[in-house]
């Protein structure tokens, strides 16, 4: 029996997916968390891990725990703090757990598509949480349906769970079945999978989406898996290492075992994880992403200087780059915008008057700070340009004499197929307009993007070990034509 507690309705307003109401940013797929910790309150630890990973997905949340062979599941629409409370967490006993925050990229925003996905096998239940996006979903779905698998959701995550179950039911054990199923998957997938025997964590052969391993000290040692290190910090776990591309880690009462199931792993971490998605206090390459983002700001100050009275970032993601810009340029850093951090994602639509007034529900200019000043505003990216234009207007209305915009990444010219929710190519402003044309549309006095080379060089890592397809159209995993046609409709851009 799998108890599922329901609080909210599947029915959401259709208009929340309209372009007008969507954030003018790339949207992440989700965050995953897994833990093997006998003797600990694994549900509560998973809750806090998901709480720290809330930025990766705000549509739904879920936790599955295993108490021997018994699985307990609770998932629903909403933020982690809305989906769970003390009473619900008390109904999720066990020694191991997996959790998930969802932002839908494959499958609509409905409770039935919330994760973890739980399926039955001859060895017991498995619960799977997935960050990423498969590109061979059509083929995999047809294979499963032909095998009489009854899919109940529209997500590729459920397909991966059923693919594992199918291999296990054919006679393989958990490890062999999982590895056989992973070979059937193409695209981006960082997974945590709970079974009665233990917890698995894996990444696709390119490691497009992140996944880290942590340790909770004790006797015996307990292990944690999370999309980012901030998910470890919140529960007091120490960062051990990343799960490698094409690696499966298997955590049981014997400890942690590692299996490299891909013969040709080639690291291609999504560069947008470093620029924007991951929290600035998360570690990648043994440093915080705050440090990398500051270097991006320093680099664009060198590449595209401009004389001004003050520089500030769009809260919160543009702030580290703005500080770096100030350090190199000598232009004083200040706060020009105040963010309402309690808005979150709301299904209550603003009135027409509020929509026409711009973006003041989330960002409000400091009029006395901005009045009469030549300002530089730093942001991490521009996707459609709709929010950027409203922001520039708000700054001018507040009295800014000049508005110069600096973007700490190159122009986004191509959609993502690996777990980021981007528009079709014709909706990406940089795919159809030059920088000068974008500047004119945004009504800024000047506009400059960071160079592609600068973005990669400032990682201080092998520049070939990142996926930057959204800037170049050079996709590391081949995209099937029928998938490609759904988003990619223009010529490839050369950088």
Q: Which residues are designated catalytic?
A: 30
Check: CB of residue 281 under 8 Å from CB of residue 346.
Answer: no
Q: Of 55, 111, 105, nearest to 80 (Cα)?
A: 55
The dihedral through the CA atoms of 352, 357, 358, 360 has a sign that is negative
Q: Is 380 annotated as a binding residue?
A: yes
Residue 46: Cβ within 10 Å count: 32
In sequence order, which residues have a C-beta less than 8 Å from that of residue 142 and are 6 or more positions away?
Answer: none
In sequence order, which residues have a C-beta less than 8 Å from that of residue 353 and are 6 or more positions away?
Answer: none
CA separation for the pair 202, 132 (Å, rounded): 12
Q: Is 185 annotated as a binding residue?
A: no
Q: Is 426 annotated as a binding residue?
A: no
| Half-sphere exposure (Cβ direction) of 201: Cα atoms closer than 13 Å | 32
CA separation for the pair 55, 282 (Å, rounded): 12
CA separation for the pair 372, 398 (Å, rounded): 9
CA separation for the pair 365, 94 (Å, rounded): 49
Q: Is 230 annotated as a binding residue?
A: no
CA separation for the pair 32, 450 (Å, rounded): 31
Q: Is 18 annotated as a binding residue?
A: no
For β-strands 187-194 and 255-260, DSSP reports them as unpaired
| Half-sphere exposure (Cβ direction) of 430: Cα atoms closer than 13 Å | 25
In sequence order, which residues have a C-beta less than 8 Å from that of residue 27 and are 6 or more positions away?
Answer: 103, 105, 420, 421, 422
Residues placed in the known binding site: 270, 317, 379-380, 416, 467, 470
Residues placed in the known binding site for Mg(2+): 317, 379-380
Residues placed in the known binding site for [4Fe-4S] cluster: 270, 416, 467, 470
């Amino acid at each position: 029996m799998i108890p599922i507690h329901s609080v909210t309705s599947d029915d959401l307003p259709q208009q929340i997916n309209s372009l007008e109401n969507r954030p003018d940013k790339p949207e992440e797929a989700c965050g995953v968390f897994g833990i093997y910790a006998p003797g600990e309150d694994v549900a509560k630890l998973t809750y806090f891990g998901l709480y720290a990973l809330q930025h990766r997905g705000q549509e739904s949340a879920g936790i599955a725990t295993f108490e021997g062979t018994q699985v307990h599941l609770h998932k629903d629409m909403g933020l982690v703090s809305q989906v769970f409370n003390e009473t619900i967490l008390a109904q999720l006993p066990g020694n191991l757990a997996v959790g998930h925050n969802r932002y839908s990229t494959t499958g609509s925003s409905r409770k039935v598509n919330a994760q973890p996905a739980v399926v039955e096998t001859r060895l017991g239940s498995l619960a799977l949480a997935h960050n990423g996006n498969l590109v061979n979903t059509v083929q995999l779905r047809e294979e499963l349906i032909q095998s009489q698998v009854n899919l109940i959701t529209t997500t590729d995550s459920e397909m991966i769970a059923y693919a594992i179950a199918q291999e296990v039911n054919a006679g393989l054990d958990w490890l062999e079945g999982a590895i056989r199923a992973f070979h059937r998957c193409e695209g981006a997938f960082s997974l945590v999978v709970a079974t009665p025997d233990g917890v698995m964590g894996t990444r696709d052969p390119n490691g497009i989406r992140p996944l880290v391993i942590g340790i909770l000290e004790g006797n015996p040692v307990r292990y944690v898996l999370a999309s980012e290190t901030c998910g470890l910090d919140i529960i007091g776990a120490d960062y051990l290492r990343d799960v490698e591309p094409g690696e499966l880690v298997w955590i049981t009462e014997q400890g942690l075992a590692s299996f490299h199931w891909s013969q040709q792993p080639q690291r291609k971490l999504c560069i947008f994880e470093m620029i924007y998605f991951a929290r600035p206090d998360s570690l990648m390459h043994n440093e915080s992403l705050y440090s990398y983002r500051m270097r991006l700001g320093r680099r664009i100050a060198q590449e595209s200087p401009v004389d001004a009275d003050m520089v500030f970032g769009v809260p919160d993601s543009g702030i580290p780059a703005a500080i770096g810009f100030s350090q190199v340029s000598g232009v004083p850093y200040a706060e020009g915008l105040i963010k309402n951090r309690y808005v979150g994602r709301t299904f209550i639509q603003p009135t027409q008057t509020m929509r026409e007034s711009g973006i003041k529900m989330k960002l409000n200019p400091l009029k006395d700070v901005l009045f009469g000043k030549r300002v530089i505003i730093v942001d991490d990216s521009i996707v459609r340009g709709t929010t950027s234009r409203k922001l520039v207007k708000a700054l001018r209305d507040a009295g800014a004499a000049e508005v110069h915009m600096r973007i700490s990444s190159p122009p986004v010219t191509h959609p993502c197929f690996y777990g980021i929710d981007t528009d079709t190519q014709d909706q990406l402003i940089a795919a159809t307009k030059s920088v000068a044309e974008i500047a004119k549309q945004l009504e800024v006095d000047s506009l400059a993007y960071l160079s592609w080379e600068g973005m990669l060089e400032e990682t201080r890592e092998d520049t070939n070990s990142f996926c930057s397809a959204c800037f170049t159209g050079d996709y590391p995993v081949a995209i099937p034509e029928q998938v490609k046609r759904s988003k990619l409709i223009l010529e490839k851009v050369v950088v």
